[in-house]
Amino acid sequence: MQTHRSKAQIALTVATLTFAANFSIWVLYAVVGIQLKDDLALNATQFGLLLAAPMFTGAIFRLPVGLILEKYSPKRVFLIQMACTLPPLVLLKTATTYSDYLIFGAMIGISGVSFTIGIRYVVDWFESKYQGTAMGIFGAGNAGAAITLIIAPLIIDHIGLSMIGPLYAGGLLFVILLFAFIAPDTPEYIASTTEKSWQSLLLPLSELKVWRFGLYYFFVFGSFLALTLWLPQYYVAAFGLSLSQAMALTLLFVASSSLVRAAGGWFADKYGASKVSWSVFWVCLVCLFFLSYPPTTMVIQGVSKEVNLNIEINVWLFTLLILIIGIAQGFGRASIYKIIYQHYPKQMGTVGGAVSMVGALGGCTLPILFGLAVDFIGVYTACFMLLYGVLAVCMFLMYYAHKQEQYQKRLSHAIKMNFLERE
């Protein structure tokens, strides 16, 4: 008979692989969209909307699914979610117009709910001191995006765009069977404590810090997701790279950011989730400052002649800065979920669903805003200017919240020790 520890390891392994498969489907339009941009003659804003279609569905369903997970078996919900993803994948081959692809993309987006389900499934198997590491390992399933960046272009080139949906459906069907027969059920002592009214489940959502955590996740996950979708065409448009070169560099960003998430969880367990998150924000802020600067030519009036000064980040420095941001975001995604667990260990379905919903909305809204910013400002680096602003707001709120928490602790201590008592 299997011990709890061995079951926990199996649960984590199978859940991570299942999440990776679903994530690969969720970001499918990162590759399909580039082909459609040329085929349908889309502008930047239309392209952003196309990328946002699956992100939107995957975001808005995370909160209601998180609530459902507090009442029903995560394993069963996981299987239902994947079963709902199969039909639109099969039907994707029938799409011919821009509207068709928007509709099917929104339907395929249900695969994005897999993170909320999987994280709720995993936390039931591990003690508090190992939660950061366990959630970090599970979150490494973001590397599923790398699967799509490698496989999808090959399918399009050798088999055709029309077959990409059915082939992915076949792969997902295999994953459904694997998860159904191998993944262990929720531990009995956890399943037996499923309780609470819907009103009590919704109660944490009235707390402002839940939505503050969501904003942090909006940056570390939402912008990671948006960059995964946006970078291939950015490399092509801004640096003139071929599609295969753009995919390879984007793959490097996705893989490095995803795989370090497990290390980020370990660091959060050992050194403190808040410290890790604050360090992540500072690293990203510095990198985004340089990425936001557009190619510039300055004419300096010299003594005897004019001096032309060109300021521009080349493709290699750009890639280095993007990789640093990706690695930092990988650490941040793990540390923020550790923070959530520290505050709401018994409400990971509800609170985790709300936070991941806000984060995933970043993957939905940011590609659209990137397109609008590029069309309006007229420079490719406008997307990084936007991210810089989002991050500045996150850092201000984190700093202010930390100060408030410290003040409340000092005040509580003073009251407890009667320092405020008047004679």
Domain borders along the chain are: 4-298+307-416
Share of the chain above pLDDT 70, in %: 89
Q: Among residues 364, 55, 335, 365, which one has the least CA distance to residue 220?
A: 335
How would DSSP label each residue in 239-265?
H---HHHHHHHHHHHHHHHHHTHHHHH
Q: Write down the residue that tokens 């510039």 correspond to.
A: 296
The token pair at 336 is 């923020």
Q: Please tell me which residue, 348 or 64, carries the higher pLDDT value.
A: 64
Q: Are 383 and 234 in contact, with CB atoms under 8 Å apart?
A: yes
Q: Which residues of 169-180 are buried (b: 16+ CB within 10 A; e: fewer)?
A: bebbeebbeebe
- Give the residue with greater pLDDT, 4 vs 355: 355
The Cα–Cα gap between 264 and 248 comes to 24
pLDDT above 80: residue 417: no
Model pLDDT, residue 215? 84
The tokens 């994005």 sit on which residue? Answer: 112
Q: Can you say whether the dihedral through the CA atoms of 64, 68, 69, 74 is positive or negative?
A: negative
Q: Is the pTM of this model over 0.85?
A: no
Measuring CA to CA, which residue among 356, 363, 369, 353 is closest to residue 54?
363
Residues 6+ apart with CB under 8 A from 276: 264, 267, 268, 331, 332, 334, 335
Per-residue pLDDT, averaged over 228-250, amounts to 84
Q: Which residues contact 413 (CB under 8 A, 6 or more apart)?
A: 419
Q: What are phi and psi of 310, to 5 degrees?
A: -105, 125
What pLDDT does residue 423 have? 45
Task: Give the other-Cβ count within 10 Å of 196's Cβ.
Answer: 15
Q: Name residue 300's beta-bridge partners.
A: 307
> What CA–CA distances, in Å, run from 81 to 87, 168, 173, 183?
11, 15, 12, 15
* pLDDT of residue 192 exceeding 50: no
Among the listed residues 94, 93, 102, 111, the one whose alpha carbon sits nearest the alpha carbon of residue 33: 102
pLDDT at 189 over 60: no
Pick 202 or 36 by higher pLDDT: 36
Coil/strand/helix, residue 112: helix
Residue written as token pair 């995604």: 333
Q: Residue 418 has what pLDDT? A: 66
- 58 near 109, Cβ under 8 Å? yes
Q: Is the pLDDT of residue 193 over 50?
A: no
* Inter-CA distances, 102 with 96, 239, 359, Å: 11, 28, 21
- In this structure, of 177-186, 201-210, 211-220, the range with the lowest mean pLDDT score is 201-210
Percent of the chain with pLDDT over 90: 19
- What does pLDDT average to over the chain? 82
8 Cβ neighbours under 8 A, 6+ residues apart: 125, 126
Query: Mean pLDDT, to the nearest integer, of 161-176?
Result: 92
CA distance 15 to 423: 61
Of the ranges 76-85, 146-155, 182-191, 349-358, which one carries the lowest mean pLDDT score? 182-191
- Interior CA angle at 340 toward 337 and 343, to 5°? 155
Number of alpha carbons in the 13 Å side-chain half-sphere of residue 273: 24
Q: What is the mean pLDDT of residues 283-305?
A: 80
pLDDT of 285 higher than 80: yes
Max CA separation in the chain (angstroms):
87
At residue 53, the 3 state secondary structure works out as: helix
What value does the mean pLDDT take over residues 36-62?
Answer: 84
Structure tokens at 220: 């570390």
Please tell us whether the domain made up of 4-298+307-416 is placed in CATH 1.20.1250.20.
Answer: yes
Beta partners for 306? 301
Per-residue pLDDT at 39: 84
Six-digit token string for 91: 């039907």
In the prediction, which pLDDT does 31 show?
85
pLDDT for position 1: 47
List CB contacts of 411: < 8 A, sequence separation 6 or more.
Answer: none
> Which of 121-130, 146-155, 266-275 tops mean pLDDT?
146-155
Confidence (pLDDT) at 405: 67
Q: Residue 45, Cβ neighbours under 10 Å: how many?
A: 18
